[in-house]
């Protein structure tokens, strides 16, 4: 039995206006096709094309979550540095001021954790609709 040769040997050249090409390119970018040739072949032969839709609200939420994550890491680092300094201080002369700093950092940390919990709750409510 002869095997079918699947190599693509034939080329087709098409001229498009800038507007047509922009339209084609935008539709290609919303698809999951790896390259423009694959996208055009799928269009020509009526094969299914999977498209990607992005939700602006979800993008905004992810941006807020990444910002909160950054801030939470910064506060956590400050907190760890203060605790390390308190633990490494042999005298307790300046411990009172350090404990006040630790308490302030703890409040900031708890505040950021509460913000993260609120955002997670919003995300959960959105996905459970």
Domain boundaries, the chain: 8-53, 56-128
Angle, CA 62 vertex, CA 59 and CA 65 arms, to 5°: 155
Could you report the per-residue pLDDT of 30-57, keeping only the tens digit for each? 888 888 988 898 888 878 787 776 666 7
Q: Which long-range contacts (CB under 8 A, 24 or more apart) does 55-60 make?
A: 57/126, 58/126
d(CA 57, CA 52): 15
d(CA 47, CA 28): 14
Q: Which of 1-10, 29-38, 58-67 has the lowest mean pLDDT?
A: 1-10
Could you report the per-residue pLDDT of 85-111, keeping only the tens digit for each? 777 776 656 666 777 777 787 788 888
Which residue did the predictor score with more confidence, 126 or 109? 109
d(CA 42, CA 32): 11
Going from the C-alpha of 16 to that of each of 20, 25, 45, 60, 126, the distances in angstroms are 6, 11, 19, 36, 42
Give the best-scoring range by mean pLDDT among 3-7, 54-58, 61-65. 61-65
Q: Take residue 18 and report the two structure tokens written for it.
A: 């800038």
Q: How confident is the model at residue 1 (pLDDT cuts 50, 70, 90)?
A: very low
Which percentage of the chain shows pLDDT scores above 70?
Answer: 81
d(CA 20, CA 42): 18
């Amino acid at each position: 039995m002869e095997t079918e040769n699947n190599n693509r040997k034939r080329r087709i050249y098409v001229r498009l206006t800038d507007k047509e090409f922009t339209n084609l390119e935008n539709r290609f970018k919303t698809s999951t096709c790896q390259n423009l040739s694959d996208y055009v072949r799928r269009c020509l032969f009526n094969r299914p094309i999977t498209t990607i839709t992005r939700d602006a609200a979800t993008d905004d939420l992810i941006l807020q979550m990444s910002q909160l994550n950054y801030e939470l890491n910064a506060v956590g680092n400050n907190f760890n540095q203060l605790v390390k300094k308190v633990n490494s201080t042999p005298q307790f002369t300046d411990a009172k001021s350090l404990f006040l700093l630790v308490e302030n950092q703890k409040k900031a940390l708890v505040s950021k954790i509460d913000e993260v919990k609120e955002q997670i709750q919003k995300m959960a409510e959105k996905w459970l609709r």
